Amino acid sequence: MTGGLRVLGACPLDCPDTCSWVVTVENGEAVTMRGNPDHPYTRGALCVKVNRYLEHTRAADRILHPMRRIGPKGSGRFERISWDEALEEISVRLRAIVDEHGGEAIWPYNGTGSLGYLQGCEGVAGRRFWNVLGASRHFLNICSTAGNVGLTQTNGTPGGMDPETFASSKLVLLWGTNTLTSGHHLWKFVQDARAAGAHVVAIDPIRTRTAEQADEYLPILPGTDAALALGLLHVVLEEGAEDRDYLENRTENWAEFREEILRHPPARVAGITGLPEEDIRALGLRLARTRPTGIRATMGIQRHAGGGAAMRVIAAIPGVTGDWRHPGGGVAYSTSGHVHLNIDTRDDLLARPVRTLTMTRLATELDESVKCLWVYTANPVGSSPDQNRIRERLLREDLFTVVMEQFPTDTVDYADIVLPATMQTEHLDLHAGYGHMYLMWNEPAVKPPGECLSTTETFRRLARHLGLDEPSLYDSDLELAEELLSSGHPSLDGITVDRLRKEGWARLNVAQPFVPFTDGFPTPSGRLRLPREAAYVPPHTATAAREPYPLTLVTPAAHTFLNTTFGNNPELLRRAGGPRVLVNPADAAARGLASGRRARVFNGSGAFEAEVEISDRVRPGVVAAPKGNWPKLSPGGAGVNAVVDARDADLGRGAVYHDNLVEIEPV
Ligand SMILES: Nc1nc2c(c(=O)[nH]1)N[C@H]1C(S)=C(S)[C@@H](COP(=O)(O)OP(=O)(O)OC[C@H]3O[C@@H](n4cnc5c(=O)[nH]c(N)nc54)[C@H](O)[C@@H]3O)O[C@H]1N2
Ligand SMILES: Nc1nc2c(c(=O)[nH]1)N[C@H]1C(S)=C(S)[C@@H](COP(=O)(O)OP(=O)(O)OC[C@H]3O[C@@H](n4cnc5c(=O)[nH]c(N)nc54)[C@H](O)[C@@H]3O)O[C@H]1N2
Ligand code: SF4
Ligand SMILES: [Mo]
């Protein structure tokens, strides 16, 4: 045990768990970072990635100073400049752009690199500043919007089960979610349920490490979950196990939805989902007979053409079974719908309405009308769809690109000005888990290295340099935190900055166990709205011609990276072993692919290279390559998103990362 000062913080990454951590500081240096054993949900463990966070803050390639481009666009060649020079050049360019083209010529492009309410996307850092300039709005649709909209149409909110209540479930469906990789703290609660006799089923086109730990695994065809849900409900109806009282008093559209269920008997659903009819029947029987059933369905399901509809039908299941009556019953997608902070983006500062530009559509919407692209907490060249076209667009000479970053990502290579950003141990922030019911405080533990500045401080300095006189642009971090907590919502009663600073976290002021919707749903009727229209929307991979690209590519979370974050960490890169593609033995044989050998994965949009892993963890016709590898650190210089299209899902304009067709050939 070291002596030093203990500083409480929280993981900022786009992971449901938002871990509580303790940093030990000696002589101004962060010496250790450990999971906080006192936190009721994360209970002391971090993860394979964030165990290297401190090492990452000190990485040799950390960006420590402002820089200006000296090579051609995209070359990644820069010279060091001072903050004053950077602010001056930016101010001159922004003023000229606003004067000549209007504020909407600026695209503030922020991503999920930090979920901080101050420094990251949840409080929409920088938005007040952009409002004063009249910049375009940015629609952050890259991650979860299809599911959010689908759930909101059904329940009135994307918020669902408190994940802690899975300990009380008797049947656990891990549906399109790789718990042990993408938010592993839920697992303890799943194991508690199991110890009390629960049966755990994984539904995933890949036999993931989570699926391998489950009691039962269904290798569903990608994008067909709505059909499976209807088939399971068909069995529930055959058994007469629907909760008639709940349906009558708590839901609407039952007559229509019942018809839709009856159109999907297990035999038909088997043909759509690629699952044996008897397995669908067996799971349907379990669902019919097991209360409470807890469904953990996360973002994997909704990264498809019909992803929004899939979440709608899955959300309908507890409406039919009445599972929302019980702790441990219902659907858990995200808890963010239960968080009621006062996010005051000051949209009243806009002089006139402005257009909205869409995050996943960078490749098409970054046209001549955009004169400044301002990227922060995002790495679009690595993470956004249609990588090759994004690169082309970023080469435009008259586009002024500013990137605020910690590391020299592929996106940084295209910047005109790079601004050095702090990391989580170096700035203050407030967080809320999207996989638990706690607000989290992050106290800075150390001084920023070099000349790094936080997001909030960067925008304050920029405002000052531009001579903007709107007072709210200068609110301090503590003032911003106070404002966030000032919504007056009862779930925040008694939660103050002082308390958060002292304790590190606070559970939202809700019952324990928290069972949502016992007093009705936040829909206009107060009822759960069962789908009325065609409930199953097929994936692109089922409706498009499967020639000349016959394989369905799924691109899920990598175990060792968090999106592209850590993609440059030498040890995590070593563990990942470079970009990989999982191929079924039959597909490999048909193409002369060998395990451990490099292959080219391609379609009409582009190509990337990866090492082949031949495995029956994917079924014939389905291949899988994780997201997260940096294109420039990958063979061939391209990443998985070179073959991902910028198509929209059915709802919320969500991204379709798991719904693309490819072919593979040996290199
Ligand atoms: N280690 C690690 N953790 C992460 C991340 C990471 O990059 N690495 N990313 C973080 C972020 S940004 C997010 S949004 C979450 C995402 O994490 P998840 O919500 O888990 O989403 P995905 O990894 O996209 O997909 C989850 C699983 O769904 C499966 N899947 C794909 N398509 C379908 C389908 O049509 N039906 C079904 N039933 N399953 C399908 C995939 O094979 C995968 O195993 O995780 C966060 N956690
Ligand atoms: N093929 C495929 N692609 C995917 C997905 C998929 O399933 N498949 N998933 C998508 C999902 S779910 C998401 S959420 C997106 C994520 O896509 P992005 O939002 O682009 O997130 P990252 O790729 O993690 O890049 C975040 C960057 O922010 C930087 N950063 C972190 N903290 C800070 C900070 O405090 N200040 C500043 N200035 N920078 C910071 C990090 O260094 C990192 O380079 O990726 C999507 N991309
Ligand atoms: S990435 Fe997730 S599991 Fe890892 S430390 Fe952060 S919140 Fe915890
Ligand atoms: Mo995400």
Residue 298 in this model has a pLDDT that exceeds 60: yes
Phi, psi dihedrals of residue 662, rounded to the nearest 5°: -140, 170
The mean per-residue pLDDT over the stretch 70-95 comes to 98
Cα 287 to the center of its chain, rounded Å: 29
Evaluate whether 499 touches 506 at the Cβ level (below 8 Å): yes
| Cβ of 11 less than 6 Å from ligand 3 | yes
Q: How far is the CA of 564 from the centre of ligand 3 (A)?
A: 14
Q: How far is the CA of 377 from the centre of ligand 2 (A)?
A: 7
CA distance 642 to 603: 9
Mapped to the 3 state alphabet, what secondary structure does 309-330 carry? HHHHHHHHHHHHHCHHHCCCCE
CA angle 457, 463, 466 (to 5 degrees): 140
Residue 2 in this model has a pLDDT that exceeds 60: no
Tens digits of residue pLDDT in 598-650: 999 999 999 999 999 999 999 999 999 999 999 999 999 999 999 999 999 99
Residue 97 in this model has a pLDDT that exceeds 50: yes
Q: How far is the CA of 279 from the centre of ligand 2 (A)?
A: 37
Residue 223 in this model has a pLDDT that exceeds 60: yes
Which tokens go with 275? 């699952």
- Which of 273, 303, 7, 31 has the alpha carbon at shortest distance from 144? 303
Residue 1 in this model has a pLDDT that exceeds 70: no
Q: How far is the CA of 157 from the centre of ligand 1 (A)?
A: 21
Question: What pLDDT, on the 0 to 100 scale, is given for residue 542?
Answer: 97
- Probe target for ligand 1 pocket from 19, 178, 377, with the most ligand atoms within 8 Å of CB: 178
Tens digits of residue pLDDT in 24-54: 999 999 999 999 999 999 999 999 999 999 9
Mapped to the 3 state alphabet, what secondary structure does 428-442 carry? CEEEECCCCCEEEEE
**Which atom of ligand 3 lies at the shortest distance from residue 47's CA?**
4
Interhelix angle for 225-238 vs 254-262, to 10°? 100
Q: What is the mean pLDDT of the chain?
A: 97
Can you tell me whether residue 552 is helix, strand or coil?
A: strand
Q: For residue 384, which ligand has an atom nearest its CA?
A: 2
Alpha carbon nearest to ligand 3 atom 7, residue: 18
Tens digits of residue pLDDT in 224-268: 999 999 999 999 999 999 999 999 999 999 999 999 999 999 999
Q: For residue 423, which ligand has an atom nearest its CA?
A: 2
pTM over 0.85: yes
Evaluate whether 508 touches 494 at the Cβ level (below 8 Å): no
Question: What pLDDT, on the 0 to 100 scale, is given for residue 534?
Answer: 81
Alpha carbon nearest to ligand 2 atom 47, residue: 383
Evaluate whether 659 touches 304 at the Cβ level (below 8 Å): yes
**Which atom of ligand 3 lies at the shortest distance from residue 433's CA?**
7
**Domains with residue ranges and CATH for the chain:** 67-142+344-432+446-487 (3.40.50.740), 145-333 (3.40.228.10), 541-666 (2.40.40.20)
- Probe target for ligand 1 pocket from 14, 112, 182, with the most ligand atoms within 8 Å of CB: 182
The mean per-residue pLDDT over the stretch 385-408 comes to 98
| Cβ of 49 less than 6 Å from ligand 3 | yes
The mean per-residue pLDDT over the stretch 129-153 comes to 98
Alpha carbon nearest to ligand 1 atom 38, residue: 176
Evaluate whether 401 touches 416 at the Cβ level (below 8 Å): yes
Tens digits of residue pLDDT in 515-570: 999 999 999 999 999 999 889 999 999 999 999 999 999 999 999 999 999 999 99
Question: What pLDDT, on the 0 to 100 scale, is given for residue 182?
Answer: 98
